[in-house]
Every structure is written in structure tokens, then in C-alpha cells.
């Protein structure tokens, strides 16, 4: 996600949750969602960068009146959902497409995100810094979804 994307996601999260703290939900939580509902604590807001088959799992798992914010489709652009789940649970489906923003619209968000990064208010989780010669391992880890945070390549 870009710096602008982080700012917009944070703003969207604050708006979507009305400032209430979130209990993070992982993809594994969602994949198990049909068999293992999080008792008494289903997710209220889900930020989905995956799309594909994960969308129906999110709809099945999310709380009634929950919000699904879609901002990517790395698992697939086409989806098939049970529309009754969407409307019966009164789920809001929102989209974010930063590519539509003009440079003038991006500038304030970029400046705010960079300031948040500088001040420590925005933290980027680094999984590991690998030597440049391990670039193939880095790609394998990314493709295998075995990364928690950012994976960096050292240039020295």
C-alpha cells in the first residue's frame, strides 16, 4: 500500500468505526470464519486488499451492519457473492481507488502521512531486511504469503 493509501485507510478506518478500537482479524481468521465464528466479537470493519473468493468469507464473518472496504484484488478481480447475506446483514460495501486522485488531491495526504511517519504516529512493520542476493527468497516468501509486514532488501 502506498503512503497515501495508509493515510486514506487510517482515515476510512476511523470513519468506519466511529473512532472505536478494532480487534485485528487475520486472513486465517476469515478463512476459518464459516466453522469458527469469533464468538460475541465478529469484525465490524474489514479492509480487503484481496478480493476474489475472500469476499464471500468476509461477508459470512462480518458483523451485521458491518463495513467492507475494498481497495485491491490481489486474489482475483471477479467475485461471486450471496447477495442475500449482503442485504440481510445490512453490510455496507465501500470502494477506495486512489488511482483516481489527482496530484493536487494526493499532496495533502502525502504530506500528512510523511509527517506521521516522521513523528512516529505511523509505524511501518518490518518483517526482515534481507541481503540483495536473497531476492529470490524474498519473492518466494511474498508469493507464499509468509511475510508479516514489509520485507526489505539491503543494498549494502
User: In terms of domains, do 87 and 131 share one?
Assistant: no
Q: Edge-to-edge strands of the sheet including 67-70?
A: 45-48, 67-70, 92-95
In a domain, 50, yes or no: yes
In a domain, 20, yes or no: yes
| Residue 72 pLDDT greater than 80, yes or no | yes
Domain hosting 25: range is 3-99
pLDDT tens-digit map of 5-55: 444 444 444 454 555 545 555 556 555 554 444 556 787 888 888 899 889
User: In terms of domains, do 14 and 91 share one?
Assistant: yes
CA distance 77 to 68: 16
29 touches 38 (CB < 8 A): yes
pLDDT tens-digit map of 98-153: 888 899 988 998 899 899 999 988 888 899 999 999 999 999 998 888 888 899 99
Amino acid at each position: 500500500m502506498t503512503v497515501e493509501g495508509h493515510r486514506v485507510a487510517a482515515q476510512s478506518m476511523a470513519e468506519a468505526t466511529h473512532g472505536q478500537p478494532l480487534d485485528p482479524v487475520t486472513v486465517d481468521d476469515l478463512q476459518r470464519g464459516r466453522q469458527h465464528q469469533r464468538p460475541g466479537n465478529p469484525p465490524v470493519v474489514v479492509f480487503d486488499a484481496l478480493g476474489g473468493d475472500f469476499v464471500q468469507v468476509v461477508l459470512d464473518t462480518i458483523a451485521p451492519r458491518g463495513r467492507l472496504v475494498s481497495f485491491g484484488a490481489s486474489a482475483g478481480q471477479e467475485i461471486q457473492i450471496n447477495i442475500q447475506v449482503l442485504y440481510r446483514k445490512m453490510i455496507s460495501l465501500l470502494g477506495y481507488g486512489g488511482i483516481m486522485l489527482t496530484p493536487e488531491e494526493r499532496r495533502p495526504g502525502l504530506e500528512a502521512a510523511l509527517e506521521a511517519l516522521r513523528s512516529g504516529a505511523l509505524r511501518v512493520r518490518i518483517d526482515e531486511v534481507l541481503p540483495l542476493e536473497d531476492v529470490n527468497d524474498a519473492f518466494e516468501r511474498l508469493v507464499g504469503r509468509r511475510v508479516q509486514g514489509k520485507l526489505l532488501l539491503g543494498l549494502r
